[in-house]
Amino acid sequence: MSVVIESPRSRKRPGFNLEKYGWMYMRLSGVLLIVLIFGHLIANLLVGDGIHAINFAFVAGKWADPFWQVWDVTMLVLALIHGTNGMRTLVNDYTEREWIRRTLVWLLWIVCFVEITIGVLALVTFSPCGDPSSITVLTNDLAKIGQTLHSAGFNCPTP
């Protein structure tokens, strides 16, 4: 006597399969991130004077080179989208109500977009010279914060 096992029925939806491309993105971006992160660590920690060379001038010199700007922007964008996609998967798995799931997923992607925008702007518009007027404003703000902390009992040196 033989048993016949029917083929499983799969729902094939016509159109774009977001989950399939999200799954593929996670694998490809994960491999790229490993290369980018280890390249970043080797360039920053092992080449030259190592960790002792990392200061404002090191970062300014590095970000003056378009190669490192592209490297860091790529690492930033891939990492943020990779992390957001992973969080989206967790939200999809553990959220029971549809409206909560949709709201959380939208919030995740909005926060991801804002973080990418701020990060890319910081990287691309970075200037080691700075604006002298902003330095004065920052110094005055730090002095006020220091005075407030000192009056509250904290011993902080004021600039």
One-letter amino acid for residue 49 of the chain: D
Domain contains 28: yes
Place of tokens 């920690």: 45
Judge whether residue 87 has pLDDT over 90: yes
Domain contains 144: no
* Over residues 131-156, mean pLDDT: 63
* 126: confidence class by pLDDT, cuts 50, 70, 90: confident
Virtual torsion, Cα 120, 117, 78, 94, nearest 10 deg: 160
Positive or negative, the Cα torsion across 51, 78, 68, 118?
Answer: negative
Domain contains 140: no
For position 159, what pLDDT does the model report? 47
Domain contains 106: yes
Give tens-digit pLDDT for 59-83: 888 888 899 999 999 999 999 999 9
For position 60, what pLDDT does the model report? 84
- Residue 39: which domain range? 19-128
Burial class (CB in 10 A: 0-12, 13-18, 19+), 105: middle
Is 131 within 8 Å of 115 (Cβ atoms)?
no
Positive or negative, the Cα torsion across 91, 97, 98, 104?
Answer: negative
Place of tokens 């033989």: 2
Provide the whole-model pTM: 0.71
Q: How many distinct structural domains can be found in the chain?
A: 1
Assign 142 to helix, strand or coil: helix
Q: What percent of the chain has pLDDT over 90?
A: 45
Query: Who contacts 126 (Cβ-Cβ below 8 Å, separation ≥6)?
Result: 60, 63
3-state helix, strand, coil in the chain (%, to 5): 75, 0, 25
Judge whether residue 140 has pLDDT over 60: yes
> Which of the two residues, 131 and 108, has the higher pLDDT score?
108
CATH number, domain containing residue 120: 1.20.1300.10
Judge whether residue 151 has pLDDT over 60: yes
Domain contains 133: no
* Over residues 11-32, mean pLDDT: 85
* Over residues 48-66, mean pLDDT: 83
Place of tokens 């009056």: 151
* 139: confidence class by pLDDT, cuts 50, 70, 90: low
Is 112 within 8 Å of 80 (Cβ atoms)?
yes
